[in-house]
Structure 1
Amino acid sequence: MSEHVVKRTTDRTKVRTLAQVAMLGAAATVLMALDFPIPFLAPPFYQMDFSEIPVLVGAFAMGPMAGVAIEFLKVVLHMLLQGTSTAGVGDLANFLVGCAYMVPAAMIYRTKKTRGRALAGLALGTVIMVTVGCVMNAFVLLPAYAAAFQVPVESFIEMGTAINPAINSLFRFCLLAVGPFNLVKGLLTAAITLMIYKKISILLKGNL
């Protein structure tokens, strides 16, 4: 009897977790669609959105693997519903950079679920996201963009120079455009997540 009860409880927990992952993935997809450029920071193909907030909420509540699942679901749903204007490069970048941000934050928060740990995790996640974003843009994403659209990488650098005259190389493009863009995104996402997480986590631990 006890084994049967345990199995039923486990099954219900799995179903609830899947439902919450789906719900948060859908919310992240909606937020991802509400993107907008920050023209004084980076060229317009870098779009700011707040889709990492549901991802972080899910990762804090259910662990980093759930966060990865939400991140993946968000990107897949976005591609299915809106297609891709970047030959899939932007979507891959969104997934990888999002995971670089979320996983460290969730792992630190999981060790001790306090506001201080959440703040430390989000700070580390932001630093890692900025670093990974710069490295990936320099060596993978911008060359892939260039190949996909058959344009030289220098054309992206010129777009950066139009925003900031100090941008005159790929290194400076990543340092002075990609880095600040991801830093602002990480800080804004962290601030909003810290404000709303506890309220939403109460709902997630209930009957949703």
Structure 2
Amino acid sequence: MNSKKVQMLVFGGLFSAIAFVLYLFEIPFIGHLKLDISDIPALLGSIVFTPVFGIVVELVKNLLELLVRGLGAQMGFGNIMNFSVGCAYVIPFALIWRKKTNAKGFALAAICGLFSIVVIGLAGNALIVPPYFRFFLHTEIDSATLKGAILSATALNAVKGAILTAVAYPLIQLSHIFKKIMKNN
């Protein structure tokens, strides 16, 4: 295994572990929803390495959380949505930023990431919640409850996207350090 692959493996483990620890520190939001900042390592990894690196960090973080905490009352639904919205922000941001590394590129990446996290979260909650709760939790959700849940989750995703956007620029500055480490080894 060459040194670049070893470095990516080591950084992948490091970023996933940091993301997992950050995932454990949740901030109560609305109702049962909790805000976390665990997508930051995935965002940094996708900027430094590739968007696929960020996806892997998101996946490993959620699998670790499931192993440690179990499925919970929602049978893993929160992990599915966390993975989905995390990737929804990280992928477009990284793809755009890697092509346009200037102020306009940053603005476009941030807007697309924010738009994507809200839209994917909204669609995921609207399309997945009813069958998921029906088949896995054996619970029917009335339309008023579903609307409330979707609005709450959309607000959560918008706030999460705004936080990711706010920390993205400092992360880009930090990414230069990681790129130098990778280049020198």
TM-score, L = length of structure 2: 0.87
* 2:50 aligned residue: 63
1:128 is aligned, of 85, 98, 116, to 116
Aligned residue type for 1:105? F
Q: Distance in 2 between matches of 1:72 and 1:146?
A: 25
Aligned residue type for 2:162? L
Cα pair 1:32 1:51 within 8 Å, conserved: yes
* 2:39 aligned residue: 52
Q: Distance in 2 between matches of 1:89 and 1:172?
A: 17
* 2:26 aligned residue: 35
Q: Does residue 1:183 correspond to 2:150, yes or no?
A: no
Shift of 1:203: 3.7
Q: Matched residues, percent identical?
A: 27
Shift of 1:182: 0.7
User: Quick check: 138-147 or 92-101, which moved more?
Assistant: 138-147
Q: Distance in 1 between matches of 2:86 and 2:165?
A: 13
Q: Does residue 1:148 correspond to 2:136, yes or no?
A: yes
Question: 3-state DSSP class of the match of 1:205?
Answer: helix
Q: Residues 102-157 of structure 1: CA distance to partner in whole angstroms, max 9, x if unpaired? A: 11111001102234423321221111110111111111134313443333212x84
Q: Distance in 1 between matches of 2:113 and 2:103?
A: 15
Q: Distance in 1 between matches of 2:133 and 2:38?
A: 22
Aligned residue type for 1:109? W
* 2:66 aligned residue: 79
Summarize the Cα distance change of 1:52–1:119 in structure 2 as closer, same or farther, 3 Å threshold.
farther
Q: Residues 59-97 of structure 1: CA distance to partner in whole angstroms, max 9, x if unpaired? A: 011010111111111111111122221212211111122
Aligned residue pair count: 182
Q: Which runs of 5+ in 1 are unaligned?
A: 1-7, 159-169
Q: Distance in 2 between matches of 1:171 and 1:129?
A: 18
Q: Which runs of 5+ in 2 are unaligned?
A: none
Cα pair 1:20 1:204 within 8 Å, conserved: no
Question: How big is the alpha-carbon RMSD for the aligned residues of Structure 1 and Structure 2?
Answer: 2.2
Cα pair 1:133 1:179 within 8 Å, conserved: yes
Q: Does residue 1:22 correspond to 2:13, yes or no?
A: yes
Q: Distance in 1 between matches of 2:176 and 2:18?
A: 15
TM-score, L = length of structure 1: 0.78
- Runs of 4+ aligned residues of structure 1 deviating over 6 Å after TM superposition are none
User: Quick check: 111-120 or 23-32, which moved more?
Assistant: 111-120
